[in-house]
């Protein structure tokens, strides 16, 4: 599979600049229009819609930007019940979703006890494409997830600045994280990554470095999340990430990687005032996610704030319709499989 199928676009090379990330006004409108046009050329008017279930908030890592960090002793920890999750996903899932993402803190216990048996059953009883976002796991456990039936691994590098990565106690070292991303991509996984826009100390040059780092990895997609200071983290007093630089970075990724899967993230609703999530669709996003985590668990999945903006089916479908788009009936997994056949 060629993970980086790039089309030549007028005036575009593979070297995004600080100037492009910082555009505003008419220049920004032109950048986003190019991203929108590129997305429509590749995917038509449809966007992928997946569900996500946050199966555990246990985490052995200590990232300063995440409320589930291991030193947050005030957080009520949970692991979902396998039987309840199977009932939800096999019998009561929204009809609009074609794919499912299983997400957790870095919790190998939940991987073994919940994720792997859940995936095996879902592969047997549903047509859902399955992705996982479960942190840096052992190679054996990663392979077991793949053999169970998941096909896409989401593993974000968060920041390409080594000193920043280290200061925020992100998992392992930056080199180890990037090496693991490459290992996954070389061992059967479709890999999507991501980073945070507006981290304290990042600066526009750092954001540019993150964009370039993503372009250099063997990915099928990438997310860009605006920084939201977590209420139970060392960064709780910091300033939120900027809406416009986040959208500009998304647009650049779309233009430079037309076939990538780029999600609109719910945090855009927190930093983006009225436009929010829909701004992501206008800037080239082609994936929306419906949160299916049971309400009794959802409040304790503390990425940043307990009152995070939950994208349920109604909100997702409304955003898609407002932008004149439709829900894809082809699953993300099937799309990635077709890309693999075209680009062996």
Contact present, 230 and 66 (Cβ < 8 Å): yes
Q: Please list, residue by residue across 91-127, b when 16 or more beta carbons sit within 10 angstroms of its beta carbon and e when fewer do.
A: eebeebbbbbbbbbbbbbebbebbbbebbebbbeeee
Predicted pLDDT of residue 13 = 54
Is pLDDT of 261 > 50?
yes
* pLDDT per position as a tens digit, 268-318: 999 987 799 999 999 999 999 999 999 999 999 999 887 778 999 999 999
Is pLDDT of 258 > 90?
yes
Alpha-carbon distance of 78 to 68, in angstroms, equals 11
Predicted pLDDT of residue 344 = 47
Share of the chain above pLDDT 70, in %: 94
Closest CA to 189 of 128, 138, 142: 142
Predicted pLDDT of residue 304 = 87
Alpha-carbon distance of 228 to 181, in angstroms, equals 25
Predicted pLDDT of residue 12 = 43
Domain ranges of the chain: 18-342
- Candidate from 10-14, 113-117, 321-325 with smallest mean pLDDT: 10-14
Predicted pLDDT of residue 98 = 98
What does the block give as tokens for 323? Answer: 């932008």
In terms of Cβ atoms closer than 10 Å to its own Cβ (0-12, 13-18, 19+), residue 299 is: middle
Give the pTM.
0.94
Alpha-carbon distance of 278 to 264, in angstroms, equals 8
In terms of Cβ atoms closer than 10 Å to its own Cβ (0-12, 13-18, 19+), residue 342 is: exposed
DSSP, residue by residue, 40-97: HHHHTTEEEEEEEEEEE---S---TT-TT-TT-TTSPP-B--HHHHHIIIIIS--TT-
- Average pLDDT, integer, range 195-211: 97
Taking the domain 18-342, which CATH number applies?
3.20.20.70
186 confidence band (pLDDT: 50, 70, 90): very high
Close Cβ partners of 253 (under 8 Å, ≥ 6 residues apart)? 211, 214, 215, 222, 224, 260, 262, 284
Predicted pLDDT of residue 307 = 76
* pLDDT per position as a tens digit, 16-60: 889 999 999 999 999 999 999 999 999 999 999 999 999 999 999
């Amino acid at each position: 599979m060629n993970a980086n199928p790039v089309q030549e676009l007028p005036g575009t090379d593979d070297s995004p600049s600080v100037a492009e990330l910082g555009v505003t006004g008419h220049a920004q409108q032109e950048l986003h229009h190019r991203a929108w046009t590129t997305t429509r050329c590749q995917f038509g008017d449809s966007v992928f819609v997946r569900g996500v279930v946050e199966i555990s908030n246990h985490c052995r890592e200590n990232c300063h930007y995440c409320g589930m960090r291991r030193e947050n002793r005030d957080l009520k920890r949970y692991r979902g019940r396998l039987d309840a999750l199977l009932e939800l996903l096999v019998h009561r899932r929204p009809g609009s979703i074609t794919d499912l993402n299983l997400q957790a803190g870095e919790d190998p216990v939940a991987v073994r006890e919940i994720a792997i048996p859940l995936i095996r059953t879902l592969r047997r009883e549903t047509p859902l494409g399955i992705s996982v976002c479960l942190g840096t796991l052992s190679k054996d456990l990663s392979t077991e997830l793949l053999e169970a039936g998941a096909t896409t691994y989401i593993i974000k590098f968060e920041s390409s600045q080594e000193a920043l990565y280290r200061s925020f106690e992100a998992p392992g070292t930056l080199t180890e994280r990037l090496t693991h991303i490459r290992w996954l991509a070389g061992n059967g996984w479709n890999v999507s990554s991501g980073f945070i826009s507006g981290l304290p100390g990042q600066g526009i040059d750092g954001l540019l470095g993150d964009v370039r780092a993503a372009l250099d990895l063997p990915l099928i997609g990438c997310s860009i999340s605006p920084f939201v200071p977590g209420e139970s983290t060392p960064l709780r007093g910091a300033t939120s990430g900027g809406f416009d630089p986040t959208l500009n970075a998304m647009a650049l990724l779309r233009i430079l990687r037309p076939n990538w899967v780029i999600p609109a993230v719910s945090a855009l609703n927190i930093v983006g005032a009225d436009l929010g999530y829909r701004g992501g669709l206008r800037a080239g996003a082609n994936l929306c996610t419906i949160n299916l985590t049971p309400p009794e668990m959802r409040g304790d999945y503390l990425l940043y704030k307990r009152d995070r903006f939950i994208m349920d089916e109604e909100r997702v479908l409304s955003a898609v319709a407002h932008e004149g788009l439709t829900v894809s009936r082809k699953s993300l997994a099937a799309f990635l499989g077709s890309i693999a056949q075209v680009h062996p």
